[in-house]
Structure 1
Amino acid sequence: MSEKYHLVIDGLNVEADKNSTIIQALAKAGNAITKNVGCMGQGVCGSCRCLVRKEGERTVTTALACETPIEEGMQVSFIDYFLPSHIHYYDLENVGDGWNWLDDTAALFPESQHCRHCGGCDAACPKHLQVQNGVAQVVAGDFGAAAHTFDECVMCNLCTLACPENIRPNHLGLYARRMTTARSLRPVDLMRRLQEIDSGAMKVDIQAA
């Protein structure tokens, strides 16, 4: 007979085999799962986002229930999907020719310019992505690097929930991935220089040249 672990999931006392994941433990205990599940254990959809506290620890961490093994005395609370107050709408066909992507990105995601570098998004990410760095890469116009940073993002929205500036890093990363795929990227340093010239931050004396 396999060893059993006892834990609490959304207020329910659950007993399950010790080699179970959180979502498996909930299902095997006879509970009907009607939400907070999507890919059934593949760890790719982000639907089963949850808060976890291990026995004897004060810290609460985030996790995906489908890929997190249970432990004795663990406490789990699922986080329902939520709609943010501001939703970003854009059409890649209308974003521009590439030279103005820095301005276009700032206009579409103005809150991204105000990152506090608190690290909350990094701590919240169940995939352990360098989310904060990815936001900085998009703001700097390095869409290729940002697309790589967010490549394994499952759009669970936990980084959005953790951000005090209401930045939606996962959607910013998705934007970078779409831009990288849809367009041939221009050199970042040249885009920045053209932006400086256009805004007047850098003066160019054509006669002197």
Structure 2
Amino acid sequence: MTKTLFITGASSGIGAATARKASDAGWNVALFARSEDKLKEVAHGCASAMVLPGDATSPADLTEAVERAAHQFGGIDAAFANAGRGLNSSGKGAPDEDDIRGMIDLNILGVLWTVGAVLPELKKTKGTLVMTGSAAGKRHIPGSIYGASKWFVHGYAGNMAEEMREWGGRCTVVAPGMVDTPFFESGKPDKLKPEDVADAVMLAIEADPRASVREVFLMPQSM
């Protein structure tokens, strides 16, 4: 029976690359993000895809999307809580309250709402949950609020791994360094590609059931 992967932040970058990798590996993909047009473009390159426009900071949107995907494909075997963002402001001077709230809502609450929506389906399949962490969530960066939000993701992923193992499920955090996506407008020329992170997600969700891949830490080889 074909397995199904639910992906948030699926319209571009890491999420879109993961959708294509999973599709090539024979998975159904349920694509969730705000931009329906971009999701349709990603779905066009996948063999079996479902477009689910919605906001990852909305529990209602996520619950409806998960229910639709489970009904369409007969269940959900893995979920990738990938939606996230950085701060738009430079971080210098007085913090922008709306900017900070927007990032926290997506990077932290969005992960919590995704897990809350998808966990009942994963329990049915003894499935795998993957979260997008960051190299910034593994080291201390002076004053980085974004980094702190990813420390939360790493801690929560470990907590969920312990909870999910009680019923046969698994949880993985994938922690990439700088990735060549619109997320980084500038920076070093040597970056990871979204496909590198997608490979790590596939490693986690296709690992033998006897093995739980708790974390994958990726860094560019050339610095």
User: Normalising by structure 2, what TM-score?
Assistant: 0.21
Q: Which structure is higher in RCO with an 8 Å CA cutoff and minimum separation 6? A: 2
User: Normalising by structure 1, what TM-score?
Assistant: 0.22
* Structure with max Cα Rg: 1
Richer in strand (by share): 2
Richer in helix (by share): 2
